[in-house]
Chains A and B, each alone.
Chain A
Amino acid sequence: MNQEVFLAMPVFLISAFAVLIVVLDAVSGKNKTINFAFGIFSLLATAGAAIYTLTLQVPKLVNPADYHDIFTITKNTMVFSSYSAYFDILFSLAGILTMLASRSFISKGYHEYKEYYSIIILAVAGMVYISHANNLLMLFIGIELMSIMFYILSGYFRQRIESVESALKYFLLGSFASGFLLYGMALVYGATSSLELNVIAQFIAKNNFNATYLTFGIALLLIGLSFKIAAFPFHQWAPDVYQGAPTTVTAFMSTAGKAAAIFSFIIIAKALMPSFTNNAMRLVSTETMQMILAVLSAATMLIGNITAISQKNIKRMLAYSSVAHAGYMLMGVVANNQLGYDGIIFYATSYLFMQIGAFIVLSVLENKDSSNINLDNFTGLRKSNPYLAALMAIFMFSLAGLPPFAGFFGKYYLFLAAIQSGYTWLTIVAVISSVISVYFYIGLIVYMFFKDSDNPIAKAELKLSSVSLFVCLIGVLLFGFFPSLLMNLYAIIK
Chain B
Amino acid sequence: MLESIPLEYYLGLSAIIFAIGAVGVMTRKNAIIIFMSIELMLNAVNLTFISISSFFGNTGGPIFVLFVMAVAAAEAAVGLAIVLALFRLKKTVYVDEVNTLKW
Contacts and interface: CB of A to CB of B under 8 A. Distances in A.
B31 A172 contact: yes
Interface in A162-208: 162, 164-169, 171-172, 175-176, 178-179, 182-183, 185-187, 189-190, 193-195
Contacts of A312: 103
Given A179-B22, A186-B49, A312-B103, 7 more contacts: A141-B71, A152-B78, A165-B101, A168-B98, A182-B42, A183-B44, A244-B100
Contacts of A179: 18, 21-22, 38, 41-42, 45
12 contacts: A148-B74, A161-B89, A161-B90, A161-B100, A162-B100, A164-B85, A165-B86, A168-B82, A178-B42, A179-B22, A239-B101, A310-B103
Nearest to A183: B45
A144 B86 contact: no
A342 interface: no
A167 B100 CA distance: 13
Interface in A133-158: 136-137, 140-141, 144, 148, 151-152, 155, 158
A244 B103 CA distance: 12
Interface of B: 11, 18, 21-22, 25, 31, 34-35, 38, 41-42, 44-45, 48-49, 52-53, 56, 58, 60-61, 63-64, 67-68, 71, 74-75, 78-79, 82-83, 85-86, 89-90, 95, 98-103
B85 A187 contact: no
Contacts of B99: 165
Contact of A165 (B42, B49, B68, B100): B100
A307 B3 CA distance: 55
Nearest to A307: B103
Given A182-B45, A183-B45, A171 B103 contact: no
Q: Is the interface of B mostly helix, strand, loop or mixed?
A: helix
A190 B99 CA distance: 41
A150 to B, nearest CB: 10
A304 to B, nearest CB: 13
A371 interface: no
Contacts of B86: 164-165, 168
B89 A159 contact: yes
Contacts of A169: 95, 101
A153 B63 CA distance: 29
A189 B54 CA distance: 12
A311 interface: yes
Nearest to A242: B101
A362 to B, nearest CB: 16
Nearest to A158: B85
A316 interface: yes
A240 interface: yes
Contacts of A176: 22, 25, 38, 41
